[in-house]
Amino acid sequence: MKDDWRKYLGLRAPRYTSYPSALHFDAQVTDEDYASRLGEVSLYEPLSLYFHIPFCKRLCWYCGCNMRVENDYARAVRYVDALRREVDLVGKKLNGAGRPRSIHFGGGTPNFLKVDEIGRILEAVELSLGLTDSTRLAIELDPRLIRDNDIARLVALGFNRISLGVQDFDPEVQAAINRVQSFDLVEAAVGEMRRYGVDDLSFDLLYGLPKQTVASFAATLAKTIALSPDRVAIFGYAHLPAQLPRQRLIDDALLPPEALRADLSILGDEMLVAAGYVRVGFDHYAKPDNPLARAAIEGRLRRNFQGFTDDPAETTIGFGASSISFVGEIYAQNAKTLADYYSRIDQRRLATERGLLLSPRERVVAATIRDLLCRGRADIRPLLRALAPTEANRICANLDRFEEDGVICWEGDSVALAPGARTLARAVAMALDPYEAAIGRKAAPRLAHAV
């Protein structure tokens, strides 16, 4: 990476898993709006389903997720009962329309639930929405909570995509973030998954954690490469203690300075590419024969709330507290607290608390940013036409700066990321985003930036 580019790695750019981000949602979108959009879904429309499981056994101090530490398993069973009722409610609104193409369990910690409970959720989906052998099932697992026979039973249920939260293998880094899990534990989990035929295994790593050094992160990357996951995602840790009080448990003095953060990001990219992984978007890597890599190479890559995906479904239906749906140009987010979520479901209402109806102009911005992030290039004519002249001029000035630094180049009316500049895609996307502050000064940290 060119030295001139390192300054962009420090920008607190949104992750753009949705556009606009959830920070722009408000209470104008109601459960009735959501219900009416569900009623307009067409018969064969592919659906991407997401189940949020908000429970964890222990708190990781870096955590930016909607979760709670829970010791009473009966509460998780109650939550599963509510999820089943929510699936039933959504099924009634869909009235036979839509075909689930993929189901993703995220959290929190999905494997806080025993496999029996996960099976009960899938049973509800099968009854109300329909399941086929081709529906892809994915789940995020905490290696510390994998029980005997869990992997065999999850595979028997149809899960073939598993993501392991690894973050960092260094014991000192793990102690500094309160997430201690040995390499042997992860190695055993990987061995079991391979034994049962899981052929789409992903690791999540984090850079920018306390006590990380170039040497320690290189060792983490080397161990990752030795375990040979099919995909790796490397996220930057966003330290936002003012918005996320739990992050105050991390000692600020132990965090790597900006220059070292940039070094760690560059190191991750270089080591994975040297090991044969293909860059997918700006923070994912996949083996060349993995479906995600093929989607990137063939221009089919998409971005949804889970990050980069080869799932072609435009319509996402989220279940559980805080989950977000995108149906017919509206975002609908469920109530965030368990009490509010249960209260709505107990009234046999959809659990929508807030959301956003995309304006025509936001649709154009969303499509431009999606193209840039997923394909590395975007035609910006529709964007400039959709904006007021002052905004359009500001965006052109932002792009001029990136062009001067060689981060982008022009291909007709399309802006394209220069070779090697993929990891800066979020910074360039921010330059195209009328909601963001002018590039060149640091945008105010936001909750949405938390990883």
SS3 110: helix
Nearer to ligand SF4, 52 or 101 (CB): 52
Nearer to ligand SF4, 61 or 277 (CB): 61
Q: How many CA atoms lie within 13 A of 372 on its CB side?
A: 36
Sheet containing strand 200-207, strands side by side: 278-280, 284-286, 231-236, 200-207, 159-167, 136-141, 99-107, 46-53, 315-319, 324-327, 330-334, 352-357
Distance in angstroms (rounded) separating the CA atoms of residues 228 and 225: 5
CB of 246 to ligand SF4, least distance (A): 8
CB of 163 to ligand SF4, least distance (A): 11
Distance in angstroms (rounded) separating the CA atoms of residues 365 and 388: 13
Give the gyration radius of the chain's Cα atoms: 21
CB of 108 to ligand SF4, least distance (A): 5
Please give the residue ranges that form the binding site for ligand SF4 (CB under 6 A). 56, 59-60, 63, 65, 67, 107-109, 142, 165
Cβ neighbours of 3 (radius 10 Å):
7
CB of 450 to ligand SF4, least distance (A): 10
CB of 202 to ligand SF4, least distance (A): 15
SS3 326: strand
Nearer to ligand SF4, 122 or 141 (CB): 141
Nearer to ligand SF4, 60 or 378 (CB): 60
Nearer to ligand SF4, 92 or 144 (CB): 144
Write the CB contacts of 308 (distance below 8 Å, at least 6 apart in sequence): 280, 281, 283, 284, 292, 296, 301, 302, 374
Nearer to ligand SF4, 73 or 410 (CB): 73
CB of 290 to ligand SF4, least distance (A): 24
